[in-house]
């Protein structure tokens, strides 16, 4: 959202820049002791404004108003300057004065709306825009600013309507297309969002933010290679665009280019310094590459930045588990479940680490917690059943296998149930379970080598032929 043009309607656009600089130098040298006519003061105020010297511009406007206290344009520009300086309440007073002198000035009404928006007084801002539209219903800038305020109010469908009208009235307004792209992005309409960003970039090809947002949409659409190309354009325009480097890394990760992703994430650290999320993503890439020691180092860096980063404790634990450093893995998983006790995935990993460390009683407690949090997790029921069986709780193991089979009756589960039944000496039920496994998946016989040693089992399963 930006204010209407600051320059005065009757300003001489062709004025020699060196001449303006001479006027400014004379004004600064002579100060209030010299006379400058209104045209000169307008040029000097515009000069200051365009260079961001808002306090200096305000002084010139106040001097102009001393000469012409009924100049509505000057009061409006005083409001613009005060808004830029964060003095919004004073700006509103200036706009009110301008409107008292010229009630039908749409520029003042729009700038009033922008300042009200900056103050979070959105409903009043909408009223100002609606009043402006009653005066000039074909003004694309009014619809544009109306759309921005509606967007900020999360009234996205209405924002789209206003911005579409602005685009209809002025198809070459680049910022309209940018904001439309953003609204459609938030509404989840990726195709329209992409089309709007593309149109914006036709009009403003050096918009780094638009290339970046376009990459976000493409990445969400699964068009990862195009997303990377879009981020590359954003970075070419603005090399220190940390978010573009970060999301480029995400897109490369989705493409499986983990080395390239790591390079992008390292660039983020170079630009923005230590950041837990970036350290974490680098660690995940190294973990995926099975370079566990390096992954551990980056998980630890993430945790130095944010000791409450539960996912980093989980990732660190997974790396220790992969290196068979089970006690360290369990300690990390303890931290993860303490920070996020309702995350079943963390409890499941903790249980697996405890199982690997042969701490079966601890593993059973953790598996129970997993199925409390996620009772539909068939794999957790199977692992729980297997651990119960190994710990000697055979009847409880059979109950867990039955629950797993209720959730998904596949061959693997039937084979594991058969082992428990045969261990209990319940041969007839065990054979039935094995037959069911082979009926569901004949290739499952490759998973039955221990049963081949028993001639009776081979014969009943028809494996001797």
pLDDT, tens digit, for every residue of 225-259? 999 999 999 999 999 999 999 999 999 999 999 99
Residues of the chain with pLDDT under 50: 8-11, 452
User: How confident is the model at residue 355, as a pLDDT?
Assistant: 97
Q: How many CB atoms lie within 10 A of CB 370?
A: 24
Alpha helix (H) residue ranges in 273-410: 276-288, 292-305, 310-322, 326-339, 344-356, 360-373, 378-390, 394-407
Predicted structure pTM score: 0.83
For position 437, what pLDDT does the model report?
A: 80
What distances in angstroms separate CA 138 from CA 107, 370, 454, one per listed residue?
13, 61, 89
Q: Alpha-carbon distance 331 to 357, whole Å?
A: 12
Task: Enter the DSSP assignment of 397.
Answer: H
Q: What was the pLDDT predicted at 207?
A: 97
Q: In angstroms, how far is CA 345 from the centroid of its own chain?
A: 23
* pLDDT score, position 259: 98
Task: Please report which helix (H) or strand (E) contains residue 217, including its range.
Answer: helix 208-220
Which helix (H) or strand (E) element contains residue 131?
A: helix 122-135
State residue 1's pLDDT score.
61
Q: pLDDT (tens digit, 9 = 90+) per residue, 173-221?
A: 999 999 999 999 999 999 999 999 999 999 999 999 999 999 999 999 9
Closest C-alpha among 249, 3, 238 to residue 111: 3
Give the count of alpha carbons within 13 A of 35, CB side only.
2
Asked if 412 and 405 count as a contact pair (C-beta separation under 8 A), the reply is: no
Residue 417: the pLDDT is: 85
């Amino acid at each position: 959202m930006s204010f209407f043009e600051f320059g005065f309607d009757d300003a001489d656009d062709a004025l020699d820049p060196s001449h303006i600089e001479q006027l400014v130098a004379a004004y600064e040298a002579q100060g209030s002791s010299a006379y400058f006519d209104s045209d000169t003061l307008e040029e000097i105020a515009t000069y200051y404004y365009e260079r961001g010297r808002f306090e200096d511009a305000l002084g010139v406007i106040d001097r102009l108003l001393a000469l012409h206290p009924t100049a509505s344009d000057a009061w409006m520009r005083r409001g613009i300057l005060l808004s830029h300086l964060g003095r919004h309440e004073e700006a509103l007073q200036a706009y009110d004065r301008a409107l008292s002198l010229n009630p039908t000035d749409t520029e003042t009404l729009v700038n009033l709306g922008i300042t009200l928006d900056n103050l979070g007084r959105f409903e009043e801002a909408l009223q100002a825009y609606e009043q402006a539209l009653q005066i000039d219903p074909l003004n694309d800038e009014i619809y544009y600013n109306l759309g921005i305020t509606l967007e900020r109010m999360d009234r996205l469908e209405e924002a789209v309507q206003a911005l579409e009208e602005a685009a209809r009235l002025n198809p070459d307004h680049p910022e309209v297309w940018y904001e439309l792209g953003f609204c459609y992005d938030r509404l989840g309409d990726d195709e329209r969002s992409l089309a709007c960003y593309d149109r914006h970039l036709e009009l403003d090809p050096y918009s780094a933010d638009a290339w970046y947002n376009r990459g976000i949409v493409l990445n969400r659409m699964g068009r990862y290679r195009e997303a990377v190309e879009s981020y590359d354009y954003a970075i070419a325009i603005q090399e220190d665009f940390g978010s573009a480097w970060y999301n480029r890394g995400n897109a490369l990760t989705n493409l499986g280019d983990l080395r390239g992703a790591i390079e992008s994430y390292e660039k983020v650290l170079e630009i923005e310094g230590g950041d837990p999320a970036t350290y974490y993503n680098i660690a995940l890439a190294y973990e995926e590459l099975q370079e566990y020691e390096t992954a551990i180092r980056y998980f630890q860096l993430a945790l130095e930045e944010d000791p409450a980063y539960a996912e980093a404790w989980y990732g660190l634990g997974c790396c220790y588990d992969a290196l068979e450093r089970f006690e360290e893995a369990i300690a990390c998983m303890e931290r993860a479940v303490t920070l996020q006790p309702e995350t079943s995935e963390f409890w499941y990993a903790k249980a697996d680490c405890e199982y690997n460390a042969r701490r079966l009683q601890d593993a059973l407690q953790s598996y129970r917690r997993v199925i409390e949090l996620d009772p539909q997790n068939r794999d957790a029921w199977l692992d729980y059943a297997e651990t119960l069986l190994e710990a000697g709780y055979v009847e409880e193991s059979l109950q867990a296998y039955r629950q797993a089979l209720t959730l998904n009756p596949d061959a693997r589960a039937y084979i594991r149930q058969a082992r428990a039944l045969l261990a209990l000496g319940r041969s007839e039920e065990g054979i039935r379970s094995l037959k069911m496994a082979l009926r569901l998946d004949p290739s499952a016989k490759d998973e039955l080598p221990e049963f081949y040693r028993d001639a009776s089992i081979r014969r009943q399963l028809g494996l001797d032929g």
